[in-house]
Structure 1
Amino acid sequence: MKKTTTCLALLLGVLWACQLPAQGQSKSLFNGKDLSGWHADVPDMDKNPNLKTPFLVRNGLLVSMGTPGGHLITDATYQNYRLELEYRFAAKPGNCGALVHASTPRALYDMFPKSIEVQMMHQNAGDFWCIQEDITVPDMEKRRGPRENWGVNGNKLRRIPNLTDGSEKPVGEWNALTIECLNDEVKVWVNGDFVNHGFNCTVRSGQIALQAEGSEVEFRKVLLTPIAKLSEQP
């Protein structure tokens, strides 16, 4: 009886493991020295090449100075991964974002690349913003507003608020933002709190981008871990 129970437990353990996404080897997308593996897209620099890029490395940190506005974009594209960021607004609260599944640059307002944005704006961390791509969440009309006003561009309702308040730390302290992209789903945690979950995403792969959107933000961790694609129901 004991042997049978042990075998059953082992079998259940194997079956449970099969339901979880297997993780690959993690790698940092920021080497602490320079911006190798990234490129900046800053529209105002097209008009004035004397402008300084808003993205730099300072004291081993990746820094978005906030202005001029633009995006720091990975050279590589990624699919099925967990992205872990540690960031802080060092001086005063403000706005920033991490964009996943990014593709066509300047697809919205001649600034934002086609993507799903995971908001980092102070007191709104974890919101989704749909930028020429779309995603679904439970209670869509309650969280996004009237269905007839939904959209992915212009003045449409592109914001999907997160599920919690109070998950962020005070300004000056480090926040942990985790984004998991798997198949057509995107899940978000802020400081360990599960704050958003979208599915039926219209895109499943792309580049990763960090914003310069008016506020100085420091990053000390940009870690990507591949996760295995889960089999889908027929």
Structure 2
Amino acid sequence: MKPTLLLSILALATAPTFTSAAEEEGFVPMFNGRDLSGWVNANCAPETWSIKDGVVSCTGTPTGAMRTEKQYENFILECEWRHLSSGGNSGVFIWGSPISAPGVPFLRGIEVQVLDHGYMKHADPKKPRWFTTHGDVFPIHGATMEPHGEHNGQRSFPSEERSKPTPEWNHYRITGNNGTLTLAVNGKVVSGGDKCFWRKGYLALESEGAPVEFRNVRIKELPSTGATAADSAPLDQGWKHLYNGIDLRGWKVPAGAEARWVAANWNLKLISGQPTAPLWSQIEIADGEYIADFQLPKDADLTRACAGLCVRGQSAPAVLIGSGTAPIVFGADKIKPGRWYRVRLTLEGTKATATLTEPQEANPQVVEGKLEGAAKGPVGVADFGGAVSFANFFVRER
């Protein structure tokens, strides 16, 4: 027998085998093979996610996520994935939030890492290990977990190195039950954690800088173990994301400011220059809510107006960051330049209520104010001439 033929036979004989959905009762496909029905584009561009020949395809741009329409509590999730470039990065989010967490493009939840071996070139062999490319499991952006096995902080490292490099396919079997999460990579459980918080929420696939594909994504739901509202991610309230991470589709850029509003992945940057009119959404709302994250430069001068959120087509800001006059003002005593903040503005007739939070901050600052002018119109971002980074624009109308 020729050596090459012998090696091929041995490879087939030792290759891991997996139970198909047809062989195990209760599994249902999570994609119909034709379109993205049942899934929500949380914060990516329309073209980021697509179905090609029955395969879920992600461009990797911008960084963000596509999540399920419904929440899941206990389940077994199976999928196959492969990166199309060396060092590609992605993930599967478990028990996640409906929209991205403050100051980041990621959903809050437990991440099951989907990382190609080429990414290891970024690791410093002189420093303690802080990631692998073989199936790490870890909580992100406010979620918590007690990791299994070897770990760094709350990050569970795999007990074996079982994943295969691009362009080969890998198989994941993720089991979540009563707050315990386990990951099997190519046929064997290698990582996970207990006491996950939350333990009910949305499932999501991640876009993070490189093209990636998923196929044979299926799920088997397991009996509930009584997750309460406190144990669960917030339910989606009909949020619509306004910024796609690639360009300013859906916005009206004021004349003279075209070069100053720069789409920079999940950030939308305002470059310093001559002040102009606000940047307006094409969507109009009356009563409802408007979310926006912002970050001022470290040298920002909070004795002047630095940033502002406008509503109902009124150029005068409803929320002002810095010094000045507006229905709601968050001044120097509330803001530290260089940090990310989230403003959540609730509109009810002439009443406006804004909450200001830092990422993972448990006690938001709340300020109320009175609105004047039109009852309905677009939402926008004020331009005072200074540099500001924005992200995570969401609206919902009541």
Equivalent position of 1:134 in the other structure: 144
1:25-174 matches, within 5 Å, as: 25-42=26-43, 45=45, 52-123=46-117, 124-131=133-140, 132-138=142-148, 143-145=151-153, 159-165=155-161, 167-174=162-169
Q: Sequence identity, in percent?
A: 32
User: CA contact under 8 A between 2:174 and 2:184: conserved in structure 1?
Assistant: yes
More strand by share: 2
Number of residue pairs matched by the alignment: 187
Q: What SS class does the counterpart of residue 92 from structure 1 fall into? A: coil
Q: What SS class does the counterpart of residue 36 from structure 1 fall into? A: coil
How far apart are 1:69 and its partner, in Å? Answer: 1.4
1:187-206 matches, within 5 Å, as: 187-206=182-201
1:226 matched to 2:232? The reply is: no
User: CA contact under 8 A between 2:84 and 2:166: conserved in structure 1?
Assistant: yes
Equivalent position of 2:178 in the other structure: 183
Counterpart of 2:197, as a letter, is T
Counterpart of 2:217, as a letter, is V
Tell which has more relative contact order, 1 or 2 (C-alpha 8 A, sep 6+). 1
User: CA contact under 8 A between 2:75 and 2:221: conserved in structure 1?
Assistant: yes
Q: Report runs of 4+ in structure 1 exceeding 4 Å deviation.
A: none
Alpha-carbon spacing, 1:159–1:108, altered in 2? closer, same or farther (3 Å): farther
Q: Distance in 2 between matches of 1:204 and 1:74?
A: 15
Equivalent position of 1:7 in the other structure: none
Counterpart of 1:83, as a letter, is L
Alpha-carbon spacing, 1:108–1:161, altered in 2? closer, same or farther (3 Å): farther
Q: What SS class does the counterpart of residue 151 from structure 2 fall into? A: helix
Equivalent position of 2:258 in the other structure: none
Equivalent position of 1:150 in the other structure: none
CA deviation profile, 1:66-102 (whole Å, cap 9, x unmatched): 1111101110111110000111113434100000101
User: CA contact under 8 A between 2:148 and 2:191: conserved in structure 1?
Assistant: no
RMSD: 2.1
Equivalent position of 1:208 in the other structure: 203
Q: Distance in 2 between matches of 1:106 and 1:160?
A: 23
User: CA contact under 8 A between 2:138 and 2:145: conserved in structure 1?
Assistant: no
User: CA contact under 8 A between 1:53 and 1:68: conserved in structure 2?
Assistant: no
User: CA contact under 8 A between 1:80 and 1:227: conserved in structure 2?
Assistant: yes
With the length of structure 1 as denominator, give the TM-score of the two structures.
0.73
How far apart are 1:108 and its partner, in Å? Answer: 4.7
CA deviation profile, 1:107-134 (whole Å, cap 9, x unmatched): 1533111110000112423212312111
Q: Distance in 1 between matches of 2:200 and 2:225?
A: 15
Q: Distance in 2 between matches of 1:86 and 1:180?
A: 15
User: CA contact under 8 A between 2:73 and 2:176: conserved in structure 1?
Assistant: yes
User: CA contact under 8 A between 1:88 and 1:171: conserved in structure 2?
Assistant: yes
Counterpart of 1:129, as a letter, is F
Alpha-carbon spacing, 1:221–1:138, altered in 2? closer, same or farther (3 Å): closer
More helix by share: 1
Q: What SS class does the counterpart of residue 218 from structure 1 fall into? A: strand
Q: Distance in 2 between matches of 1:228 and 1:57?
A: 31
How far apart are 1:53 and its partner, in Å? Answer: 2.6
Larger mean CA deviation between 73-82 and 117-126 belongs to 117-126
Q: Distance in 1 between matches of 2:205 and 2:214?
A: 10
User: CA contact under 8 A between 1:42 and 1:53: conserved in structure 2?
Assistant: no
How far apart are 1:186 and its partner, in Å? Answer: 0.2
Equivalent position of 1:18 in the other structure: none
Q: Distance in 2 between matches of 1:111 and 1:117?
A: 13
Q: What runs of 5+ residues in structure 2 fail to find an aligned partner?
A: 1-23, 118-132, 227-398
